[in-house]
Amino acid sequence: MAEHDLTARLAPHLDRHLVFPLLEFLQERGLYPEEEIVAAKLRLLGGTNMVDYAMAMHRSLHGTDEAPADMVARRAEVVDRLVALQTGPALPLYAFLRDPHLVQLLRPDKQYNVHMLQEGFQIGPDQIEALYDDAKFQFECGSYSDAAAYLYQYRVLSTNSERSVRALWGMLASEILNRNWDAALEELNRLKEIIDSKNFSSPLNQLQSRIWLMHWSLFIFFNHENGRNGIIDLFFQDRYLNAIQTNAHHLLRYLAVAVVVNKRRRNMLKELTKVIQQEQHSYKDPITEFLECLYVNYDFDGAQQKLMECDQVISNDPFLGKRIAVGNSITVPLRDEFFENARLFIFETVCRIHRCIDISVLAEKLNMRYSEAELWIMNLVKSLKLDAKIDSVSGTLIMRVNRVDVHEEIIESLKNLSTRTHMLAQSIVEPAQAAQQAAQGD
């Protein structure tokens, strides 16, 4: 079941806190043994301040009521730091920021704010930088709402450009973990603008930043109401598509699904298929192979087989396999949309090649029962206003072909040729006439 799981490829490009939702999904789906997931969580927690959670995981993994001495000591350190925050160097700044009348004194000019805080309230750069450290500490404790608030205030006040960018990454992670998708999308767009305009020390660093941004964006694009357009707009930009083809080939899965389920972006299907074909030796899964079988090889049997395999791939993917309850059943909306559109792709491709189609054969290729396929095709012919009819006696779909008269084609071609010739003549004659009139005027 875990054959096509991408967690191991995704995790290196994510903050450790963003990996937890992926592990939770895998644990829920039972793709790996329970002890392996718990052990992975425990390794991730080792780099955070969520010590109580780590101790609970350790007890669950080892079946004991005792926590290791190093965890107990680590917990004491975290508690001491939390207490110290109440009297830390940033305390005067917190008092200032909690007063709405004082906050109104701030201006968009950061240099003015620094000078005003220093002169009027004895709040210097050290206190502002302490705000960043406190925000990072809160983030590592799992207090993502507090971290987002602190980082926002830090970015308003800080003149440290490097730390401001890191703070923006922290805000993005915090909003994702808070499931605040509108705010997360805003932070994503701000980061993209910085990455695309900033002068990096090396092209490799800029490439890595783009790859990180695309990985983090998956949380947003598969939860935000306009995410399917967003992922297509971002991933198909030349610089980001080059990054995918350089060191993130597995992201083609998510781009492919977004294009397939987005009926308004069918125009990107040709470009997507081209990229999939180019990268087939670097990455492939049933989703990309389905499109390759259908649009490159015209292998309908292969496409049918790969479509069947797509069910498990989508259902077991943390970003694609989101479940919702409908009545007494559980469904995966994205999987259902993918299959509906994939069947439409197969139908359209078969109709372009054949004039008379056996419905039983088409039903087999669509993984549907004959009665379901017949009804589905009938509704499709009506909705798309296809020039076709179903012969119930022979069980076939007959596509009518409107052949254009050869003479009409020739006449239309000559009209176009005449128009282009006239335009070409004008572009030559008019400048010559203008030059002649100018010479006569002199």
Low-confidence winner among 49-58, 91-100, 308-317 (lowest mean pLDDT): 91-100
Which amino acid type is present at position 322? K
Token digits of residue 158: 């800080």
- Count Cβ atoms within 10 A of the Cβ of residue 195 and give its class: 0-12 exposed, 13-18 middle, 19 or more buried: buried
Model-level pTM? 0.82
As a whole number of angstroms, the distance between CA 53 and CA 142 comes to 10
pLDDT band at 416 (very low <50, low <70, confident <90, very high): low
Residue 438 has what pLDDT? 66
For residues 368-374, give the mean pLDDT.
Answer: 82
As a whole number of angstroms, the distance between CA 307 and CA 296 comes to 15
Residue 167 vs residues 24, 117, 132, 174, 187: alpha-carbon distances, Å: 26, 21, 7, 10, 11
pLDDT band at 169 (very low <50, low <70, confident <90, very high): very high
Task: Report which of residues 202 and 39 the model is more confident about.
Answer: 39
As a whole number of angstroms, the distance between CA 142 and CA 136 comes to 10
Residue 430 backbone phi and psi in degrees, to 5: -60, -45
Residue 436 has pLDDT above 80, yes or no: no
For residues 192-206, give the mean pLDDT.
Answer: 86
Question: Which run of H or E residues covers position 389?
Answer: strand 388-391
Spatial CA neighbour of 397 closest among 345, 359, 352? 359
Residue 441 has what pLDDT? 61
Low-confidence winner among 42-56, 62-76, 316-330, 379-393 (lowest mean pLDDT): 379-393
As a whole number of angstroms, the distance between CA 153 and CA 97 comes to 8
Residue 179 has pLDDT above 90, yes or no: yes
Percent of the chain with pLDDT over 90: 48
As a whole number of angstroms, the distance between CA 366 and CA 360 comes to 10
As a whole number of angstroms, the distance between CA 24 and CA 346 comes to 35
Low-confidence winner among 115-129, 156-170, 252-266, 275-289 (lowest mean pLDDT): 115-129
Residue 200 backbone phi and psi in degrees, to 5: -85, 155
CB contact set of 42 (below 8 Å; sequence gap of 6+): 54, 57, 58, 61
Residue 402 has what pLDDT? 53
Which amino acid type is present at position 180? N
Residue 314 has pLDDT above 90, yes or no: yes
For residues 192-209, give the mean pLDDT.
Answer: 88
Residue 380 has what pLDDT? 75
As a whole number of angstroms, the distance between CA 5 and CA 436 comes to 74
Residue 366 has what pLDDT? 75
Residue 403 has pLDDT above 60, yes or no: no
CB contact set of 225 (below 8 Å; sequence gap of 6+): none
Residue 404 has what pLDDT? 52
Residue 116 has what pLDDT? 86
For residues 372-380, give the mean pLDDT.
Answer: 80
Residue 384 has pLDDT above 80, yes or no: no
Which amino acid type is present at position 359? I
